[in-house]
Amino acid sequence: MLARATKELFYTVAGLVMALNGHIYRTFRAGSAVRKSSVRLHLGPGQKAYLPGWTNIDANMFTSKCDIWLDLRNPLPFPDNSVDAIYSHHMIENLPDIEAYFRDTFRVLKPGGIYRAAGPNGDMAIAKFIENDHDWFGDWPDKYDSIGGRFANFIFCRNEHLTILTESYLTELAQRAGFKHVKRLLPVMETGHTHLFEDCLAHEHERDYDAPHTLVLELEKAI
């Protein structure tokens, strides 16, 4: 795992180039992509979760596999009401402004479009911390014996995570952005839209369905 200072340096150096790349894509390629077929965006595929048939977007062009090199803190390079589905798994907790990000995902989705978003389950982490359940927490990225240290590992991940994700908080932000229908998925491996996300589920792994470590929401832009 790279130190946050190293990542910040990368974004400082490469930020303008990624912004230009996004502008070029929106100006010269997005219109063609939208006209040719349905558009499904996978945001933050990383090294191992590239989805064929999706437009995979990531800021890391060196060790990740992506179709568009873009800082996801910037607006998505697609016209309003042009995207059928959006998928991200353990990505939004790294963003500094989730509310602005939700507004942008709402903007690009077509009416009836769905965004499936997932990240560390803050509600369950708080409950397990109060229960003093050491075993629920792992020892990554750092090894701690105390429940406080293990809790900090999960929530902040060496300050990689910038937001505690809870259902009520994300629901409020999504509704402020304009989403009318917000559904929590439990167990997390289910989906209300199999035709859109069936191939995504192969990349999701949850070890405890009764006390899930991942919070999954599906947000629908009303028709």
pTM beyond 0.85: the answer is yes
Give the β-pairing of 83-89 and 40-43: parallel
Q: Which residue has the higher pLDDT, 63 or 100?
A: 100
Q: What is the pLDDT, as a whole number, of residue 4?
A: 66
Model confidence at 206, pLDDT cuts 50, 70, 90, reads confident
Residue 5 has pLDDT above 70, yes or no: no
Sign of CA dihedral 191, 194, 200, 203: positive
% pLDDT > 90, the chain? 70
Neighbours of 47 (CB within 10 A): 10
Q: What is the pLDDT, as a whole number, of residue 14?
A: 76
Q: Residue 53: which region, alpha, beta or left (left: phi > 0; alpha: psi -120 to 50)?
A: left
- Range of the structural domain that residue 43 is part of: 4-220
Q: What is the pLDDT, as a whole number, of residue 51?
A: 96
Sign of CA dihedral 65, 69, 75, 78: negative
Q: What is the pLDDT, as a whole number, of residue 1?
A: 63
Model confidence at 204, pLDDT cuts 50, 70, 90, reads confident
Model confidence at 210, pLDDT cuts 50, 70, 90, reads confident
Tokens at residue 121, please? 């389950």
Q: What is the pLDDT, as a whole number, of residue 125?
A: 97
Q: What is the pLDDT, as a whole number, of residue 27?
A: 86
Q: What is the pLDDT, as a whole number, of residue 17?
A: 82
% pLDDT > 70, the chain? 93
Query: Residue 55, Cα to own-chain centre: how many angstroms?
Result: 14
Q: Which residue has the higher pLDDT, 92 or 211?
A: 92
Query: What one-letter code names the amino acid at 120?
Result: P
Question: Helix-strand-coil percent breakdown of the chain, rounded to 5?
Answer: 40, 20, 45
Mean local confidence (pLDDT), 140-169: 96
Model confidence at 198, pLDDT cuts 50, 70, 90, reads very high
Tokens at residue 156, please? 């902040």
Looking up residue 102, the CATH number of its domain turns out to be 3.40.50
Domain count, the chain: 1
